[in-house]
Chain A
Amino acid sequence: MALIERREGGAAAIDDRFERVEDEVALPASGGVIVSLARFEAEREALLAREGDVGVWLASNEPPKALADVLDRLAVVACDFPAFSDGRAFSYARLLRERYDYKGEIRAIGDVLLEQIPFMVRSGFNTFEIDDPTALDEFRAVCDEVRVVYQPTGDGQTTALQRRLGQHRAP
């Protein structure tokens, strides 16, 4: 499993500084952890008080609204794609970025299809768990395949309309 981070003009493989802790497993003494929404809600104060960053893992039927009031204290929100065809998390990422103004890491986990990455980037995801560790080159390639976008989203890419109107956004 590789963790890839989208960066300006490309991508890089990065180390995962979070440990995914299942609900029934004890939390490590320190270091970053990612827990389920249920566990976060049950142990919220303890999690926020402990040493190390905290992130929450959202299943595909868990909209981010539940986290709206605590997002500034979360280092990562991981959104699960149980199957590549389950596209709910595209909406969740946009809501996190554009509705709740979340600035932290939004991570795509689960059945992440390489060809979906450009859509994920546009929706607000910036890190990706991908099965194939050699996928980095492919990742860079698919990100640049289609250079024109029509929809304004939180990623700030200049849209076709903005180009038409001569409104290029500052980089």
Chain B
Amino acid sequence: MYRYDEHDHALVQDRVAQFRRQVERRMAGEITEEQFRPLRLMNGLYLQLHAYMLRVAIPYGTLDSRQMRKLAYIGRRYDKGYGHFTTRQNLQYNWPKLEETPDILAELAEVEMHAIQTSGNCIRNVTSDQYAGAAKGEIEDPRIWCEIARQWSTLHPEFSFLPRKFKIAITGCEKDRAAVKVHDIGMIMKRDEAGEVGFEVIVGGGLGRTPFIGKTIREFLPKEHFLSYLEAILRVYNQLGRRDNKYKARIKVTLHETGVEEFTRLVEEEWAEIKDSTLKLPKEEVDRIAAHFSSPPFRVLGEEARVAEARCAEDAGFAAWRRHNIAEHKASGYGIANISLKPVGEPPGDATSDQMDLMADLADEFSFGELRVTHTQNIVLPHVELDRLPELYDKLAEAGLASPNIGLLSDIICCPGLDYCALANARSIPIATQLAERYTQERQEEVGELQIKISGCINACGHHHVGHIGILGVDRRGEEHYQIQIGGSASEDAALGKILGRGFSADQVVDVVDKIIDTYLELREDGEEFIDTFRRLGNDPFKERVYGTD
């Protein structure tokens, strides 16, 4: 993975010193909270319902064991012994003290991390496929380009006061695990007819109050133009994006109101002016960054994994974990191991400092010291020998980290909801917990792949629009109330879910989901997953079951 050079180090250290001075001015009363607000927001520091919240960037979700240990340490030393992994592959601390935040940033800088641009109307942490560099069939490791984008976007002089926040996601695989079509810019690496590698460029996706699936504005962008094309899009957006209404300020609305054709024309016109500028990347620099992402020294192994297979035969628990949590690896004899942060009864994405330390140790022992954070709020050990999976499983199980539910219905994306968030209208974590408790492992396996996503308000942090089943908490005359939609997807077949009908109270919602699942089980044809059945039959059969035929 990428290691800072002296310049990267110097920037982050300067940034820490700068923020320390700003906090001192605030503590001394030299600036008001109103004046301090834009400054702290440039460093990921929010004021939440109960306390400050600090959001730490985990660039494109990749971190090493040393960084994970530092996150654990910070959780223990400056917070309440835990952290929360987010859908943006970042980590949040919910209880830092204002006066200690510069120290936290200094600790992070020691391990090449920061909180720059984790909030504010700027280009946020670039996200990617959690299996990057490990996935089979990948065109190229997208993290090379994420890192190039990270540097380019860091303290960008022109794009730090955009109409609204701006999120970029890049994937190198056809199978989309980074939800690129629901980002402000999504990029998919592909080859053109001549075999050259470049990007399909998708613009204007997003969730929130006004969800849109992104539109392709360029089928193929040669790699060398990566930065100039990004700069062209941002420059058009910075000038054209609405400033009069924050709910209409995201690029998805700009694209919608301008029209895809006209917007594309403006971008191409701007790009023509700057494509051969100094933004054109010299091969030397791309190679320098790419070298950081070369594969670790895999052992030469056969396809067969006798030890793991033998354990599967005698241990149904391990077999389930092997089946659901291990993904195919590009190297023979290796697998990608997912650690579920969705044990029944816990807030999705939370990890204690002890768990983080353990995951760091396991990364060293089993995965060349590498870890990933997924946008579904789980952790990945990207390079594990298949025959060492039983060992890994035992250690995870001992720490309560071996839930075999990746991709199953209890692997829920869920926002903090009314329990923690000032914006929320309804609680979301208790709904996730009730759902997870309702279904046994056997029942979940029978249902198969099913993504449930829950948001506590229309800002859609829980991505309910793109859940196979999406649940949205709303306020109805002071009561928590939930709307249900079905048929969404955040993958390469991205789609927005359709609202089923009138909403439900908190004590009805789990029964309603149960009815939807029953309907699917009755109607599915051989091998059909939930989303396939929905696409074949539409909303009607589910509606009839839930509301009756009246």
The answer to whether A and B assemble together is: yes
> Is B258 part of the binding interface, using a Cβ–Cβ cutoff of 8 Å?
no
> Is B477 part of the binding interface, using a Cβ–Cβ cutoff of 8 Å?
no
Given contacts A146-B14, A146-B18, contact A87 B160 (CB under 8 A): yes
Within 8 A of B (CB), among A105-126: 113, 115-116, 118-123
> Is B525 part of the binding interface, using a Cβ–Cβ cutoff of 8 Å?
no
Closest chain B CB from A47 CB (angstroms) = 26
Residue A60 contacts which of B22, B151, B243 (CB distance < 8 angstroms)?
B243
> Is B297 part of the binding interface, using a Cβ–Cβ cutoff of 8 Å?
no
Q: In the bound complex, what is the Cα–Cα distance between A91 and B237 (angstroms)?
A: 10
Write the B135-170 contact mask toward A (1 if CB under 8 angstroms, else 0).
Answer: 000000000000000011011111111100000000
Closest chain B CB from A88 CB (angstroms) = 6
Given contacts A90-B159, A160-B151, contact A148 B278 (CB under 8 A): no
Give the interface centre of A87, A92, A118, A149 by most chain B CB atoms within 10 Å.
A87
> Is A72 part of the binding interface, using a Cβ–Cβ cutoff of 8 Å?
no
Contact in complex: B278, A152 (CB < 8 Å) = yes
Q: In the bound complex, what is the Cα–Cα distance between A113 and B154 (angstroms)?
A: 19
Q: Which residues of A contact B158 (CB under 8 A)?
A: 87, 90-91, 94, 119, 123, 151, 153
Contact in complex: A147, B14 (CB < 8 Å) = yes
Given contacts A113-B38, A119-B160, A152-B278, contact A164 B7 (CB under 8 A): yes
Q: In the bound complex, what is the Cα–Cα distance between A165 and B289 (angstroms)?
A: 13
Contact in complex: A161, B157 (CB < 8 Å) = no
Residue A145 contacts which of B5, B18, B151, B284 (CB distance < 8 angstroms)?
B18
Closest chain A CB from B114 CB (angstroms) = 12
Q: Which residues of B contact A101 (CB under 8 A)?
A: none
Contact in complex: B161, A85 (CB < 8 Å) = yes
Given contacts A90-B161, A148-B10, contact A164 B288 (CB under 8 A): yes
CB-based nearest B residue for A90 = B158
Q: In the bound complex, what is the Cα–Cα distance between A147 and B21 (angstroms)?
A: 16
Q: Which residues of A contact B423 (CB under 8 A)?
A: none
Closest chain B CB from A96 CB (angstroms) = 12
Contact in complex: A151, B157 (CB < 8 Å) = yes
Within 8 A of A (CB), among B349-402: none
Contact in complex: A84, B17 (CB < 8 Å) = no
Q: Which residues of A contact B285 (CB under 8 A)?
A: 161, 164-165
> Is B39 part of the binding interface, using a Cβ–Cβ cutoff of 8 Å?
yes
Give the interface centre of A113, A118, A160, A165 by most chain B CB atoms within 10 Å.
A160
Q: In the bound complex, what is the Cα–Cα distance between A6 and B375 (angstroms)?
A: 44
> Is B279 part of the binding interface, using a Cβ–Cβ cutoff of 8 Å?
yes
Q: In the bound complex, what is the Cα–Cα distance between A146 and B16 (angstroms)?
A: 10
Q: In the bound complex, what is the Cα–Cα distance between A161 and B282 (angstroms)?
A: 10
Within 8 A of B (CB), among A2-17: none
Contact in complex: B14, A90 (CB < 8 Å) = no
Within 8 A of A (CB), among B255-301: 273, 277-279, 282, 284-285, 288
> Is B491 part of the binding interface, using a Cβ–Cβ cutoff of 8 Å?
no
Closest chain B CB from A85 CB (angstroms) = 6
Contact in complex: B7, A160 (CB < 8 Å) = yes
Q: Which residues of A contact B18 (CB under 8 A)?
A: 145-146
Q: In the bound complex, what is the Cα–Cα distance between A153 and B8 (angstroms)?
A: 18
Q: In the bound complex, what is the Cα–Cα distance between A147 and B39 (angstroms)?
A: 18
Contact in complex: B14, A145 (CB < 8 Å) = yes
Contact in complex: B38, A85 (CB < 8 Å) = yes
Q: Which residues of A contact B537 (CB under 8 A)?
A: none
Q: Which residues of A contact B156 (CB under 8 A)?
A: 150-151
> Is A52 part of the binding interface, using a Cβ–Cβ cutoff of 8 Å?
no
CB-based nearest B residue for A145 = B18
Q: In the bound complex, what is the Cα–Cα distance between A145 and B20 (angstroms)?
A: 11
Contact in complex: A90, B238 (CB < 8 Å) = yes
Residue B277 contacts which of A116, A152, A161 (CB distance < 8 angstroms)?
A152
Give the interface centre of B39, B156, B273 by most chain A CB atoms within 10 Å.
B156
Interface size on B, residues (CB 8 A): 38
Contact in complex: A118, B11 (CB < 8 Å) = no
Closest chain A CB from B66 CB (angstroms) = 23
Closest chain B CB from A61 CB (angstroms) = 8
Q: Which residues of B contact A60 (CB under 8 A)?
A: 243
Contact in complex: B154, A88 (CB < 8 Å) = no
Q: Which residues of A contact B157 (CB under 8 A)?
A: 90, 94, 118-123, 149, 151, 153
CB-based nearest B residue for A160 = B7
Contact in complex: A115, B38 (CB < 8 Å) = yes
CB-based nearest A residue for B25 = A138
> Is A23 part of the binding interface, using a Cβ–Cβ cutoff of 8 Å?
no
> Is A63 part of the binding interface, using a Cβ–Cβ cutoff of 8 Å?
yes
Q: In the bound complex, what is the Cα–Cα distance between A132 and B155 (angstroms)?
A: 25
Residue A146 contacts which of B15, B235, B282 (CB distance < 8 angstroms)?
B15
> Is B239 part of the binding interface, using a Cβ–Cβ cutoff of 8 Å?
yes
Residue A86 contacts which of B7, B21, B161 (CB distance < 8 angstroms)?
B161
> Is A99 part of the binding interface, using a Cβ–Cβ cutoff of 8 Å?
yes
Give the interface centre of A94, A99, A150 by most chain B CB atoms within 10 Å.
A150
CB-based nearest A residue for B277 = A152
Q: Which residues of B contact A150 (CB under 8 A)?
A: 11, 151-152, 154-156
CB-based nearest B residue for A120 = B157
Q: In the bound complex, what is the Cα–Cα distance between A60 and B279 (angstroms)?
A: 26
Q: In the bound complex, what is the Cα–Cα distance between A75 and B232 (angstroms)?
A: 28
Q: Which residues of B contact A145 (CB under 8 A)?
A: 14, 17-18, 21
Q: Which residues of B contact A84 (CB under 8 A)?
A: 38, 161
Q: Which residues of A contact B239 (CB under 8 A)?
A: 63, 88, 91-92
Q: In the bound complex, what is the Cα–Cα distance between A121 and B154 (angstroms)?
A: 16
> Is B121 part of the binding interface, using a Cβ–Cβ cutoff of 8 Å?
yes
Write the B33-52 contact mask toward A (1 if CB under 8 angstroms, else 0).
Answer: 00000110010000000000
Closest chain A CB from B276 CB (angstroms) = 13
Q: In the bound complex, what is the Cα–Cα distance between A60 and B121 (angstroms)?
A: 17
CB-based nearest A residue for B10 = A148
Q: Which residues of A contact B277 (CB under 8 A)?
A: 152
Closest chain B CB from A37 CB (angstroms) = 15
Given contact pairs A115-B39, A150-B11, A161-B285, enumerate 11 new A-B contacts (beta carbons under 8 Å): A85-B243, A91-B235, A92-B239, A116-B161, A121-B157, A123-B157, A147-B10, A148-B7, A148-B14, A151-B156, A153-B157
Tell me the A residues contacting B by CB distance below 8 Å.
Answer: 60, 63, 84-88, 90-92, 94, 99, 113, 115-116, 118-123, 145-153, 160-161, 163-165
9 closest Cβ pairs, A-B complex:
A87-B161, A122-B157, A148-B11, A160-B7, A152-B278, A119-B157, A145-B18, A146-B14, A90-B158
- What are 13 contact pairs spanning A and B, CB under 8 A? A91-B158, A115-B38, A116-B160, A123-B158, A146-B15, A146-B155, A148-B8, A149-B157, A150-B11, A153-B157, A153-B158, A160-B11, A165-B284
